[in-house]
Chain A
Amino acid sequence: MIKPETISERIELGLAKRYRAEKRFRLYGIVAIGSAVTFLLVMLVAIGVRGAGAFKQTHIELTVVLDEAHVKDNNWQGIIKSSLRKAFPDVKARRERRELNGLVSSGAGFLLQDMVKVSPNLVGQTKTLWLPSSDDVDMVLKGSIDRSKSEGSRRVSNLELKWIDGLVAENKLRLQFNKRFFTGGDSREPEMAGILGALMGSFYSLSVCFLLSFPIGIMAAIYLEEFAPKNRWTDLIEVNINNLAAVPSIVFGLLGMAVFLNMFMLPRSAPLVGGMVLALMTLPTIIIAARAALRAVPPSIREAAFGIGASRVQTVLHHVLPLAMPGMLTGTIIGMAQALGETAPLLMIGMVAFIVDIPTSVLDSATALPVQIYLWADAPERAFSERTAAAIIVLLIFLVTMNLSATILRRTFERRW
């Protein structure tokens, strides 16, 4: 028999130990969260720092003469060349002239072409314009090219540096907001490249994906949860849906290539096929989320409706579905966000091509945002690396917005009972 005092003392001794253990455990948790947040911040800051530059682009002020001869020959770049020659009359040597022409983007001519296409009465006029510089000049202004290196080991010659410094001093060369990044399609020239093409490609793909996966997913979930008898077949289907959710996405891409492209002869690189493949991938996510949402509706609501004499369909449509809808939508948006970030299946069906035109329908060739990031990350030009980061920023903004709207949706429409 132990005396009561000793029991109490023992407990007291043990208590200190217990509290220490609890403190330690909490500490582990805080360390875990802290490291996760640190990683996230490092990633975001790194991307932000690298990508911020892409939102500005060096522009050069030029006085161009849109003379008829050049316009007729479609020699738009020639207009810019002659304008440069006028601005630097003392540059005579061929090699130096070529370097001089290299200051302005080789895509600037297309901008003039577009301008004249919009308003043909510009022909014959003289205009002072801010045109994008080449990516090398851009890099100099952004400080990404090391001037202390020897001339041979950097992409910009001493002569070019002299011109650049001169133009900056005259305020004819400066960083401006990079509108083209948001309004242009892909390009070989980093200064001309924009993400609108990829954005539209993603938009069309996701639209197709949503139109396919949402109704099919919701109907499948409703049927399985509310109507289907519980037997071996439904068990089998359930297991397979869960398996599908775990299948690597590239497998869906292969399936899309084999079935949609080779059997159904649908167009290659089209957002239509991309959306179909993404729908296959998103379906299990949506079905699982929707079933969970339906299961969360208390059975008493169903009984109440049945008890009054509502049919199964009425019970589901009038009572169960409205209560389950926020959960279903949340699952769908999360599935869509997943689809937005998906790259691998799109590679398989040819949405990885270099496409300059901005797609205008689901049948046009297109890329998607993550694929565009992958393409730019591969490009050798230094200026593409900051565009890669900028495109990642845009993608992340969309993802965060989608997930945030899912949360808000759930908070607003979730009903308590």
Chain B
Amino acid sequence: MDITIHTEVSKKVAMNTMERKTHKVTAHGVNVYYNDKKALNNVTLNVPSGEVTALIGPSGCGKSTFLRCLNRMNDVIDGCRVEGDIELDGEDIYAKGVDVVHLRSRVGIVFQKPNPFPKSIYDNVAYGPKIHGLTSSRAEMDEIVMTSLERAGLLNEVRDRLDAPGTSLSGGQQQRLCIARAIAVQPEVILMDEPCSALDPIATACIEELIEELKTNYTIIMVTHSMQQAARVSQFTAFFHMGELVEYGETTEIFTRPRDERTKAYVTGRIG
């Protein structure tokens, strides 16, 4: 009983601190089912614009599921059903007539395991702009590819081998290539699903630095298993547990003064 009251209060406080920010993505009462299994239960979360929001929680708590709802990647999973409202700039992305292709061009995603196409580095980055018809000439395409690679901090390493296959890069470089690929279509939001879990600490540091820079232009929502990473990179943190959003607020608040017992237990390393 005490805990529930606590949660309500904590949510309210968190809402208040974020009220001043404009919200890029708002989710209200989101339920997700895989066949009959409920994976997310009544999640309400407003993501502020131009910040990094981290989703943390133990494995299987629904944070990746929630992330994938935001650009409807769950659509391709058989038996997955999403209820509730998710809005991007005030528009319901699950409304009838919403074009998934268009939505995904606005909300890019970077996956846990680097998954470059088995094509050249250039083609990997150029693919998005090409299918969306963003360029009219080769020179424009070159420009986009170069700036995307530059922004992803990869250009200097691959400048002289743009024709090499993307799969020939190291793990960290591949992940940055995937980020370059995502930002090449100039999305408004970038979703990152544990982008560093397959990388060593040096590559991780590189990606984190990159996220820091990217947040000036994009709203970033990332799932992470590393509490330190959430603390280092994000401005806001949401803690998921057993398919529910337990606590959401400014990162410093979550890590130093968690209001919920479960959050406290998790961030101090007692559960999870």
Point out residues on A near B: beta carbons under 8 Å.
229-230, 298, 300-311, 314, 318-319, 323, 415-417
Tell me whether A300 and B185 are in contact in the complex, defined as CB-CB below 8 angstroms, given that A230-B78, A308-B127, A309-B131 are known contacts: no
* Cross-chain contact B182 with A309 (CB below 8 angstroms): no
> Using Cβ atoms and an 8 Å threshold, which residues of chain B touch A303?
73, 76, 111, 115
Partner pick for B111 among A304, A416, A417, CB 8 A cutoff: A304
* Cross-chain contact A318 with B127 (CB below 8 angstroms): yes
Report the interface size class on chain B: 20 to 34
Min Cβ gap A7→B in Å is 40
> Using Cβ atoms and an 8 Å threshold, which residues of chain A touch B111?
300, 303-304, 307
* Cross-chain contact B108 with A300 (CB below 8 angstroms): no
Query: Could you name 6 residue pairs across A and B whose Cβ atoms are closer than 8 Å?
Result: A301-B118, A307-B73, A307-B104, A309-B185, A318-B131, A319-B117
Min Cβ gap B10→A in Å is 33
CA distance A212 to B182 in the complex (A): 40
CA distance A328 to B70 in the complex (A): 35
* Cross-chain contact B73 with A309 (CB below 8 angstroms): no
* Cross-chain contact A304 with B178 (CB below 8 angstroms): yes
The 10 closest A-B pairs by CB, nearest first: A309-B104, A300-B115, A309-B105, A307-B109, A308-B128, A304-B115, A417-B118, A309-B101, A415-B118, A230-B78
> Using Cβ atoms and an 8 Å threshold, which residues of chain B touch A300?
111, 113, 115
* Cross-chain contact B76 with A308 (CB below 8 angstroms): no
Given contacts A304-B117, A306-B76, 15 further A-B contacts (CB under 8 A): A298-B115, A300-B111, A301-B115, A301-B117, A303-B73, A303-B111, A308-B104, A308-B128, A308-B131, A308-B181, A308-B185, A309-B104, A309-B132, A319-B117, A417-B167
Q: Which of A230, A302, A309, A314 has the most CB of B within 10 A?
A: A309
> Using Cβ atoms and an 8 Å threshold, which residues of chain B touch A310?
101, 127, 131
CA distance A319 to B117 in the complex (A): 7
Tell me whether A302 and B105 are in contact in the complex, defined as CB-CB below 8 angstroms, given that A308-B181, A314-B131 are known contacts: no
CA distance A415 to B118 in the complex (A): 8
Q: Which B residue's beta carbon lies closest to that of A226? A: B76
Tell me whether A306 and B117 are in contact in the complex, defined as CB-CB below 8 angstroms, given that A314-B131, A417-B167 are known contacts: no
> Using Cβ atoms and an 8 Å threshold, which residues of chain A touch B102?
309
> Using Cβ atoms and an 8 Å threshold, which residues of chain B touch A314?
131
CA distance A318 to B117 in the complex (A): 10
Q: Which A residue's beta carbon lies closest to that of B78? A: A230
* Cross-chain contact A306 with B131 (CB below 8 angstroms): no
Q: Is B153 an interface residue (CB 8 A)?
A: no
Min Cβ gap A314→B in Å is 6
> Using Cβ atoms and an 8 Å threshold, which residues of chain A touch B113?
300
Interface flags for B108-127 (1: CB within 8 Å of A; 0: not) read 11110101111000000001
Q: Is B71 an interface residue (CB 8 A)?
A: yes
CA distance A307 to B128 in the complex (A): 10
Q: Which B residue's beta carbon lies closest to that of A310? A: B131
* Cross-chain contact A323 with B73 (CB below 8 angstroms): no
Min Cβ gap A400→B in Å is 31
CA distance A51 to B132 in the complex (A): 62
Partner pick for B116 among A230, A302, A304, A416, CB 8 A cutoff: A304
Partner pick for B78 among A229, A305, A308, A323, CB 8 A cutoff: A229
> Using Cβ atoms and an 8 Å threshold, which residues of chain B touch A298?
115
Min Cβ gap B269→A in Å is 31
Min Cβ gap B43→A in Å is 21
